[in-house]
Structure 1
Amino acid sequence: MEILDINKVEEIVMKLFRRIPNHKQVSFLISFKENKYDCMPFISIDTKGYHLKCYERGKLIQDDIMQDLDELLYRIFRDITFEEACKFELKNRLRYQDNRRLIFSKQLELLQCISDDFARRRKLELDKILQSSPFDDNYSSIFDLIDDFEHIAAHLNEIYQKQNISKRYCEKEVKNIIGEISRLHREGTSDISKFCKDIIEKIKLVYLELKNNPSLHIEIKLQLDKIEDTLKIAENVFNISFLENRYKLYKK
């Protein structure tokens, strides 16, 4: 099998790369002939074939050798499109969803622009990955929930400061919520699902008490509406229905 020279390989890669919509300079993603940046893949060629190499802190951590040009091109664009798909997901993140959903679909979309065969091959690889590690929206949602809980706790604390509400048990709950989230960051938990469910119910207790206060300012009502939206998402994630009777019992 004929081994092309490095200039010809670079020409082919550049031609394919330009098929990617809104493509940037390929020089930031892969280099030819020499290692330009740490951890950036680069291509070299010798009598053994095409080398796909990568160095980290001056140490060679990857040197895959292949004689098939199509295999080299697939490996190059599989890695490039995955990196671009990750950047896309970060900018367009969908909360309460396994981030791999958007990454995988975007990568296949980009590969489709380059080669139908590349897209089909990657689809088979991704299907195999998902067989052993299926999408898990609940797991991803936990981190979004904790982030939202922190914002909710801060809002509730701010509302109490502005309204000067004297309901002692609600004031205590706000402090407990803030304390438990801080403790989670410091110590972790053996049951993150139970932690989130408990926090949801505690937040709802405070939320309902505040929502029924007739003297709330418009600004605070808007804040509470945002909290309500988050709680609805949280309940949907964990399939929790709030027990009104428990709330009434708690108030007594």
Structure 2
Amino acid sequence: MKENKLELKIKELQNKINAPYNLIPEFNISNDIARPFIDIGEGDIFYYVIKERGLEYERTLYRNEDELLYRVFKDVTFEIATKYELENRNNDKDFRILLFKKQEELMSLLYLDWGIRIKSENDRFLKIL
């Protein structure tokens, strides 16, 4: 039941930003080529897993569905924004500025607070460099 509800929510958000199907994680199944998948645990536990060639590279535990959704769409929007930046590259500017702006725009379409949150994360990243 929990899986069906989560799948519907992901599909709803996917449609809001026209995200390609191949960017959306599967449930409880790894394709073994480093595409993320969601492993649904007991109770309110979710795992975001990245596995390749039989090796798990990441298994992040989430106790909150909203935090899991944020992580899923942070990755999805990053992939979309990367493609957008490549197609619209300005060689006179730092490529990350356009990439991050597009990601922030997409996250804001999903939830305004997600857009604000990812902008803050991206701004901190740019300041580090």
TM-score (normalizing by structure 2)? 0.92
Match of 1:40 in 2: 35
Match of 2:4 in 1: 7
Q: Which runs of 4+ in 1 moved over 3 A?
A: none
> Could you say which structure has the greater relative contact order, defined with CA pairs below 8 angstroms and 6 or more residues apart?
2
Q: Shift of residue 79 of structure 1? A: 0.6
Q: Secondary structure at the match of 1:104?
A: helix
Structure 2 residues not aligned, in runs of 5+: none
Q: Distance in 2 between matches of 1:7 and 1:36?
A: 20
Aligned residue identity for 2:52:
E
Match of 1:119 in 2: 115
Contact 2:36 2:50 in 1 (8 A): yes
Contact 2:36 2:49 in 1 (8 A): yes
Contact 1:32 1:44 in 2 (8 A): yes
Q: Secondary structure at the match of 1:18?
A: helix
Q: Residues 52-131 of structure 1: matches in 2 within 5 Å?
A: 52-131=48-127
Q: Secondary structure at the match of 1:111?
A: helix
The percentage of aligned residue pairs carrying the same residue is 35
Q: Shift of residue 101 of structure 1? A: 1.0
Contact 1:6 1:44 in 2 (8 A): no
Q: Distance in 2 between matches of 1:63 and 1:98?
A: 32
* Number of aligned positions between the proteins: 127
Aligned residue identity for 2:28:
K
Contact 1:6 1:33 in 2 (8 A): no
Q: Residues 181-192 of structure 1: matches in 2 within 5 Å?
A: none
Contact 2:49 2:59 in 1 (8 A): yes
TM-score (normalizing by structure 1)? 0.48
Structure number with higher helix proportion? 1
Q: Shift of residue 25 of structure 1? A: 3.4
Q: Distance in 1 between matches of 2:108 and 2:9?
A: 17
Match of 1:240 in 2: none
Aligned residue identity for 1:84:
I
Cα deviation digits, residues 20-75 of structure 1 (max 9, x gap): 0xx2432x012122112511011111126101001122200010011111100100
Q: Shift of residue 91 of structure 1? A: 1.2
Structure 1 residues not aligned, in runs of 5+: 134-252
